[in-house]
Amino acid sequence: MRGDLPARWLTSVPPYTVDVIIAVGLTAIGCLVEDQYVPSGVGGDELAYGLTALVFLPLAVRRRWPVTVLVVTSLAFLAYLALTGRNQPTPKYWAPMLALYTVAGTRPPLTVVTGAVVLAPPLFWAGLRASLAPHVAVGMVVAAVAVAWGFGDVSRRLGESNRKLVELTRQLHAEQRARTERALTGERVRIARELHDVVAHHMAVIAVQTGLAGHVFHSDPPAAHAALDTVAAASREGLREMQRMLRLLRFDSDDPVGGQRSSTPGLADLPALIDRVRAAGVPVTLELTGTPTVLPSGLQLCVYRVVQEALTNVIKHAAGSRTTVAVHRGADRITVRIGNEAPAARVAPAESDSPRHGLMSMRERAALYGGTVSARPRPEGGFDVELTLPSTDRTTV
């Protein structure tokens, strides 16, 4: 942990602070070189120290004004060579080279070429003052410019790559937020669909049976009691389904997987649904044909909810009409038909709901599993609803 402290400290220090530290440190090193290796009185110590500071201190702002810093440091280095008359090896060429590195890392190539032209004369003169042959001095200038330019170009490319990575990261985060929002919207739609199916069915049964009980309360007390018993059973069943939904939403920690599976209505619950609808005054028959294969719970829930919604519409809009529910399980698909005859008397549709909403809910639920729902009136009166699903779960997102 302690070994990571220097690295974390360096990454947490602002870049401009690092530049100030570099400028002050190089100035101190340059003054120490003047003090250790230059004889006193050669060219004036105060002038040499002042020009040393002028060479290095501009590096503190090299990121903000790289071209200006390159020009200032190169001219200050040239003035040092011209005014002090000193020809000892000196680290002062580091300053204009670092400035050229910064220009190469932040400016276009044409500007870098101009900076190299500015840097070349003081470097060449420094080589000659150090008693280097002219061709060696030229090679030194070319090598120094190439090194500074090359490292600066690498730094520029890395900076561009980092900026692209930052932008890609931002886009990925935005896409992730969008996917999360779409998932939340889909979950809200699913919950709304489940609530509609549960509440609409049981409230329709309760409404019909309550009306029947009120109508025959004095003339036929046993029928009124039977209707009230149906109301009580529908209320309890609706409450149990609401509790199952709440457990699914909370992801019960006691049994997060098994609890979900066991609480999902399926084909085994169709007979109880049919009995409840019969008790509401609708003569319904259930036909189960085909191969009794094990189906995914999602497909079974889809079949159950579509049958429930279709029978709820019968209760609301064709109470008393003979109805048939036929479920056929084939090798590759499941077909469910819910058909009712024309009602003996016209039933006014409930003002609080529309059959179109229920049909839309059924189609959305079937499409989720790669299936279709068709609904059409019969020529002789009545209505048919047909659900077709693949026999394997092909849930679409």
pLDDT at 258 over 50: no
pLDDT at 335 over 90: yes
Lowest mean pLDDT among 39-43, 255-259, 390-394: 255-259
pLDDT at 376 over 80: yes
For 63, other C-beta atoms within 10 Å of its C-beta total 15
pLDDT at 364 over 60: yes
pLDDT at 324: 93
Contact (Cβ atoms closer than 8 angstroms) between residue 123 and residue 141: yes
pLDDT at 346: 53
Q: In what order do the strands lie in the sheet with 333-340?
A: 284-290, 323-329, 333-340, 383-390, 372-377
**Which has more pLDDT, 258 or 58?**
58
pLDDT at 37: 58
pLDDT at 53 over 80: yes
pLDDT at 60 over 70: yes
pLDDT at 91: 75
Burial class (CB in 10 A: 0-12, 13-18, 19+), 296: middle
pLDDT band per the 50, 70, 90 thresholds, residue 228: confident
CA distance 382 to 318: 8
Q: Pairing between strand 383-390 and 372-377?
A: antiparallel
CA distance 237 to 273: 10
pLDDT at 180: 75
Contact (Cβ atoms closer than 8 angstroms) between residue 73 and residue 99: yes
- Chain-centroid distance, C-alpha 242: 31
pLDDT at 339: 92
Lowest mean pLDDT among 3-7, 64-68, 351-355, 388-392: 351-355
Nearest to 57 by CA among 99, 114, 87, 90: 99
pLDDT at 256 over 50: no
pLDDT at 387: 93
pLDDT in tens, 17-44: 887 888 888 888 877 777 665 555 444 5
pLDDT at 373: 92
For 366, other C-beta atoms within 10 Å of its C-beta total 21
Q: Which of the given ranges, 80-94, 164-178, 245-259, 291-305, has the highest pLDDT on average?
A: 164-178
3-state secondary structure of 15: helix
* Tokens (6 digits) for 335: 């077909």
User: What percent of the chain stands above pLDDT 90?
Assistant: 7
Nearest to 52 by CA among 4, 3, 86: 86
Q: Span 170-175, mean pLDDT?
A: 87
Summary mean pLDDT of the chain? 77
Instruction: Read off φ and ψ for residue 238, nearest 5 degrees.
Output: -60, -40
Q: Which of the given ranges, 107-121, 154-168, 324-338, has the highest pLDDT on average?
A: 324-338
pLDDT at 254: 43
CA distance 189 to 357: 13
- Hey, what domains does the chain have and what are their CATH numbers? 2-132 (no CATH), 174-390 (3.30.565.10)
pLDDT at 249: 58
pLDDT at 222 over 70: yes
This prediction has a pTM of 0.45
**Which has more pLDDT, 220 or 41?**
220
For 302, other C-beta atoms within 10 Å of its C-beta total 26
pLDDT at 351: 44
Residue located via tokens 């609808």: 277
pLDDT band per the 50, 70, 90 thresholds, residue 326: very high
Instruction: Read off φ and ψ for residue 332, nearest 5 degrees.
Output: -125, -5
pLDDT at 264 over 50: yes
pLDDT in tens, 234-248: 777 766 666 666 665
**Which has more pLDDT, 376 or 228?**
376
